[in-house]
């Protein structure tokens, strides 16, 4: 995506502007170290390009920027649950309008902070009070931290994910290491399986890896680079690619889209709302992912 062509609505500094993309408002960062873009709808990172690199983040060419639809690609914020254990799928955060709290910049890069708190609309879906702050740190690496605070008077439970779509040259020439070997297979009804230490793909995959290493590495032979993913606050890494049939079945993914994307997700996984992570009143939790090119 060429960020520089998006019309500017407001200039916040030399590096940070609010721009328009379809109906969505985008916080656009163009800094000597990296450029990036974050949609206020969804609190959704849609681009991260360190200087001299191709985008590390994949966005679907068919993504719908109508300020209503969850965006296909980027880093969807799945919260207060991951998956289809309740409706809407992956929670409501990726479909909510976030607000810009602040932006800070230095010679090393820019930090954008967005916020989302409960409203009548969110309490109608999930009856709890909360405050989310999303810090997006744009330097030579991209650090995305979701700060979750229980502002209610009683504890509640949650799960979630930073559902990153990585951009790659060709899925057939990709190898992934560091995800561990134990996984729950979403394509086999949640069967617990043991896999290889190196993952290559020739078909769809939808797995929850339950013992990932500190660093997961995607080796992209076509673009001749390695993408490093370091997650914190997670209990698993979800790896997903819909392959050709899955891509065809999605209205917002072009038929060949699956060839150039792979999801490595920082996930706090739970099988149900009831078995999610408990957060006491007044307490906070952080879910994080750090992505860089080597």
Q: Which residues bind ligand TA6 (CB under 6 A)?
A: 83, 89-90, 163, 186, 206, 238, 240, 263, 265
Nearer to ligand TA6, 28 or 163 (CB): 163
Q: Work out how close the CB of 103 gets to ligand TA6 at its nearest, in angstroms, rounded to a whole number.
A: 28
Specify the residue for token string 């008077």. Answer: 153
> Which tokens go with 214?
């500190």
Nearer to ligand TA6, 48 or 240 (CB): 240
Q: Which of 271, 205, 213 is nearest to 239 (CA)?
A: 205
Q: Work out how close the CB of 84 gets to ligand TA6 at its nearest, in angstroms, rounded to a whole number.
A: 7
Nearer to ligand TA6, 44 or 163 (CB): 163
Sequential DSSP letters for 188-203: GTTEEEE--SEE--SS
Active site residue 172: no
- Of the residues 44, 103, 137, 265, only one is catalytic, namely 265
Q: Work out how close the CB of 267 gets to ligand TA6 at its nearest, in angstroms, rounded to a whole number.
A: 8
Number of helices (H), then strands (E), in the chain: 2, 24
Q: Work out how close the CB of 263 gets to ligand TA6 at its nearest, in angstroms, rounded to a whole number.
A: 6
The number of angstroms, rounded, from the C-alpha of 186 to the middle of its chain's C-alpha atoms is 19
Active site residue 41: no
The number of angstroms, rounded, from the C-alpha of 224 to the middle of its chain's C-alpha atoms is 23
Q: Work out how close the CB of 168 gets to ligand TA6 at its nearest, in angstroms, rounded to a whole number.
A: 17
- Of the residues 163, 245, 269, 278, only one is catalytic, namely 163
Nearer to ligand TA6, 129 or 180 (CB): 180
CA distance 75 to 63: 13
Nearer to ligand TA6, 19 or 205 (CB): 205
Taking CB atoms, the residue at the shortest distance from ligand TA6 is 240
3-state secondary structure 106-153: ECCEEEEEEEEECCHHHHHHCCCCEEEEEEEEECCCEEEEEEEEECCC
Residues 6 or more apart in contact with residue 42 via CB below 8 angstroms: 70, 71, 76, 77, 93, 94, 95, 96, 98
Active site residues: 163, 265
């Amino acid at each position: 995506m060429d960020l520089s062509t998006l019309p500017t609505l407001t200039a916040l500094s030399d590096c940070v502007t609010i721009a328009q993309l379809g109906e969505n408002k985008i916080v656009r960062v163009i800094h000597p170290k990296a450029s990036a873009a974050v949609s206020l709808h969804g609190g959704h990172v849609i681009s991260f390009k360190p200087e001299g690199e191709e985008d590390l983040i994949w966005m679907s060419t068919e993504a719908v920027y109508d300020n209503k639809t969850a965006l296909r690609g980027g880093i969807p914020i799945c919260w207060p649950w991951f998956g289809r254990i309740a409706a809407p799928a992956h929670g409501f955060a990726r479909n909510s309008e976030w607000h810009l709290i602040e932006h800070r910049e230095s010679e090393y890069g820019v930090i954008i902070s967005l916020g989302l708190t409960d409203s009548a609309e969110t309490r109608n879906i999930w009856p709890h009070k909360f405050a989310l702050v999303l810090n997006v740190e744009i330097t030579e690496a991209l650090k995305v931290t979701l700060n979750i605070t229980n502002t209610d008077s009683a504890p509640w439970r949650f799960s979630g994910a930073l559902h990153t779509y990585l951009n790659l040259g060709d899925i057939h020439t990709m190898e992934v290491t560091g995800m561990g070997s134990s996984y729950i297979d979403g394509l086999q009804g949640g069967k617990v399986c043991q896999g290889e230490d190196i993952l290559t793909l020739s078909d769809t995959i939808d797995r929850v890896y339950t013992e990932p290493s500190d660093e997961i590495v995607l080796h992209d032979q076509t673009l001749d680079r390695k993408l490093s993913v370091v997650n914190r606050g997670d209990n698993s890494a979800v790896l997903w690619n819909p392959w050709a049939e899955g891509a065809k079945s999605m209205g917002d993914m072009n038929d060949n889209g699956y060839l150039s994307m792979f999801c490595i997700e920082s996930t706090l996984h739970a099988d149900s709302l009831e078995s999610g992570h408990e957060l006491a009143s007044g307490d906070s939790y952080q879910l994080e992912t750090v992505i860089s090119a080597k």
